[in-house]
Amino acid sequence: MVSNHSALEVQSLSVAIEGGPRLLRGVSLVVQPGEVRALVGESGAGKSMIGKAVLGVLPRGISVTAGEILLQGNNLGSQSPQVRRQTVASVASLIPQDPLTALNPSRRIGPQITERLVRLLGWSSDDAQRRALDLLDRVQIRDPKRVMSSYPHELSGGMRQRVLIAAAFAPRPKLIVADEPTTALDVTVQKQILRLIRELQAESQTAVLFVTHDMGVVAKISQTVTVLFAGKVMESAATQEVLANPQHPYTQALLAATPRYTHPEESLLPVPAELIARLKHEIALSDAQEAAHAG
Ligand SMILES: Nc1ncnc2c1ncn2[C@@H]1O[C@H](COP(=O)(O)OP(=O)(O)OP(=O)(O)O)[C@@H](O)[C@H]1O
């Protein structure tokens, strides 16, 4: 393995339903060690699909049709499924959207954190236990020992998300994919969870690909941002630049739809339908051109 590589490099990635429509169209992005890159766009833009492709968990019937994914310098497309699973498990973690479905309801919390460390990464069970307790303490869970032997239903939604954050950071991953990790939580808990992810990330200098539909969250958590629409990158730059001076009309519309970053007194504005229609038309044209080229 080479050193000095990016935590994640996605190059011209296209993903499609087999025999059907494209869901990602030549997406490229890089996440450097220590960087938080937000991936922002409306529902259906393909944000989660990028995360799933990176983690090798695309839904059945959906596959990568072009492009490359390099995790810590490892080209996932050139690895066998078994090696790829091992690469992903040792390099990357997921903080999922819904803390309830992500935890197995019939198993205690402890093993759900330690199992990956022991089985996949070869830690001793004592080390794994110590690391889990330490992380649970770090995510401000009181009485970590008790929580280790609890079942998920005994914890609140916020506590469960803290457990999943602890589980994600426990193996010291190089990359964390955080897939709208605060969406399922109420507003006060959202703020705490966001702060926690930011603190742990800064401390460990883990690279994070942070999926969100909320420009407010982008502003709080990220240094860089990639704006996605219909599976295509509209704009990609430093977050401060994009917030201060958005270049693409879609980014401008998304920002206008987040009133606290423009005029807090105004109500939420939708992205204009004409703009959506125009962008979709442009994308359909370029899809057709590419298909004609390929044919
Ligand atoms: N299992 C699936 N089978 C077929 N199409 C799917 C599947 N999952 C997602 N899609 C489609 O893929 C596209 C991208 O979905 P994706 O979940 O990545 O969007 P997103 O930007 O993450 O949106 P959201 O914020 O709603 O999660 C959408 O058009 C969606 O309908």
pLDDT attached to residue 261? 57
Report pLDDT digits (tens) over 26-39.
Answer: 999 999 999 999 99
Q: Is the CB of 41 within 6 Å of ligand 1?
A: yes
What is the distance between the alpha carbons of residues 50 and 30, in angstroms, rounded to a whole number? 12
pLDDT attached to residue 269? 63
Q: Are 209 and 32 in contact (CB under 8 A)?
A: no
Q: Is the CB of 47 within 6 Å of ligand 1?
A: yes
- Residue 294 C-alpha to ligand 1 middle, in angstroms? 25
pLDDT attached to residue 125? 95
What is the distance between the alpha carbons of residues 250 and 211, in angstroms, rounded to a whole number? 17
User: What are the structure tokens assigned to 144, written together?
Assistant: 């970590």
Residue 43 pLDDT class (50, 70, 90 cuts): confident
pLDDT attached to residue 260? 62
- Residue 214 C-alpha to ligand 1 middle, in angstroms? 17
The domains of the chain, with CATH numbers, are 8-294 (3.40.50.300)
Q: Is the CB of 44 within 6 Å of ligand 1?
A: yes
Ligand 1: nearest atom to the Cα of 231: 14
What is the distance between the alpha carbons of residues 173 and 31, in angstroms, rounded to a whole number? 13
Percentage of the chain lying above the pLDDT 70 cut: 95
pTM reported for the whole predicted model: 0.92
Span 7-19, mean pLDDT? 96
- Residue 230 C-alpha to ligand 1 middle, in angstroms? 10
The whole-chain average pLDDT of the chain stands at: 91
Q: Is the CB of 23 within 6 Å of ligand 1?
A: yes
Return the biggest CA–CA distance within the chain.
62
Report pLDDT digits (tens) over 241-256.
Answer: 999 999 999 999 998 8
Specify the amino acid at residue 240.
Answer: Q
Q: How many CA atoms lie within 13 A of 250 on its CB side?
A: 20
Span 43-50, mean pLDDT? 93
Q: Is the CB of 96 within 6 Å of ligand 1?
A: no
Q: Is the CB of 17 within 6 Å of ligand 1?
A: yes
Q: Is the CB of 45 within 6 Å of ligand 1?
A: yes
pLDDT at 173 over 50: yes
What is the distance between the alpha carbons of residues 116 and 127, in angstroms, rounded to a whole number? 12
- Residue 41 C-alpha to ligand 1 middle, in angstroms? 12
Give the containing element (helix H, strand E) for 145.
helix 144-148
Report pLDDT digits (tens) over 270-295.
Answer: 788 899 999 999 999 988 888 888 76
Residue 10 pLDDT class (50, 70, 90 cuts): very high
pLDDT attached to residue 2? 44
pLDDT attached to residue 98? 81
The more confidently predicted of residues 202 and 269 is 202
Residue 191 pLDDT class (50, 70, 90 cuts): confident
Q: Are 69 and 53 in contact (CB under 8 A)?
A: yes
User: Which residue minimizes the CA distance to atom 17 of ligand 1?
Assistant: 48
Percentage of the chain lying above the pLDDT 90 cut: 75
Q: Is the dihedral of CA 80, 64, 27, 101 positive or negative?
A: negative
pLDDT at 267 over 70: no
Residue 1 pLDDT class (50, 70, 90 cuts): very low
- Residue 125 C-alpha to ligand 1 middle, in angstroms? 38
* ipTM computed for the complex: 0.91
Span 69-81, mean pLDDT? 95
pLDDT attached to residue 162? 93
Residues, the chain, total? 295
What is the distance between the alpha carbons of residues 151 and 192, in angstroms, rounded to a whole number? 22
Q: Which of 239, 240, 230, 241 is nearest to 275 (CA)?
A: 230
